[in-house]
Amino acid sequence: MIRLCVFDLDGTLSDTLESIALYGNEALRECGYPAEIPTDRFRYLVGEGVDVLIARMLREAGVPEEQSPEDTARLREAFLRRYTQEPLRMARAYDGVAEMLRVLRDRGIRLAILSNKPHDLVRPVVSHLFADIPFACCYGQREGVPRKPDPQGLLQILEELGIPKEDCLYVGDTGVDMQTGRRAGVRTVGVLWGFRDQKELQETGADAIVCSPKELLPLCGDGAFLQKELNENR
């Protein structure tokens, strides 16, 4: 019986690609880098925390590898300053996600979020887009907790809520998410409406892949994964 669903945020519950691209390109220009990164390219730059995003932005913009730590820190500050000032700009919930969360809530399934987005930016987005959803906990990247795909953050949620691994699903849109769930010993579900494709999710070991939020619901019933595995092995 699934008693807890833990979700990634960006690319899984909320579409924030345009806001990330906007702030990323504005920060590049402020720091004197003239290159403009196409919005669609950001879907392959995000997912592993802000420090990795900044490094990938610099490479994508053709900036020489020998950039000083000071230059990198300046770009990071410029990006986060913009994001912190307007974390909700151009952010939206994916179609059908809020309805799916309400169904899970009404079934008595607990809900949580584990994101590599900076922790201080997670709550404003969640509170605005999903104001009526009672998430048991919402965690972004925090000091002292390794970012995904390290499983520590997910394991902490399980311990905090007193939920065994076998009663939990981890839901995300990237290979990092699938690796996080598998390393924690939790079944994983990959979603295809987010930032990455089916090939990446399959190669990183997704237990199931869904094309729409409503397709997640049958996987949260009694014995759903067991029946799925039996059907696939016939």
Kind of pairing between the strands at 92-93 and 14-15: antiparallel
Rounded Cα–Cα distance for residues 221 and 23 (Å): 40
Confidence at residue 229, expressed as pLDDT on a 0 to 100 scale: 44
Query: What phi and psi values does residue 189 have, to the nearest 5 degrees?
Result: -130, 125
Confidence at residue 147, expressed as pLDDT on a 0 to 100 scale: 95
Confidence at residue 1, expressed as pLDDT on a 0 to 100 scale: 85
Confidence at residue 60, expressed as pLDDT on a 0 to 100 scale: 87
CB atoms within 10 A of CB 210: 20
Confidence at residue 234, expressed as pLDDT on a 0 to 100 scale: 33
10-residue block means of pLDDT along the chain (234 residues)? 96 96 95 89 92 90 74 91 93 97 96 96 94 96 95 98 97 98 97 96 97 95 50 41
Residue type, 102: R
Check residue 68 and report its DSSP letter: -
Confidence at residue 90, expressed as pLDDT on a 0 to 100 scale: 92
Q: Among residues 221, 229, 176, which one has the least CA distance to residue 203?
A: 176
Confidence at residue 66, expressed as pLDDT on a 0 to 100 scale: 65
Query: What phi and psi values does residue 164 have, to the nearest 5 degrees?
Result: -70, 155
Helix (H) or strand (E) holding 114: strand 110-118
Confidence at residue 222, expressed as pLDDT on a 0 to 100 scale: 57
Rounded Cα–Cα distance for residues 70 and 188 (Å): 39
> Global pTM?
0.91
Q: Among residues 40, 4, 7, which one has the least CA distance to residue 174?
A: 7
Check: CB of residue 15 under 8 Å from CB of residue 91.
yes
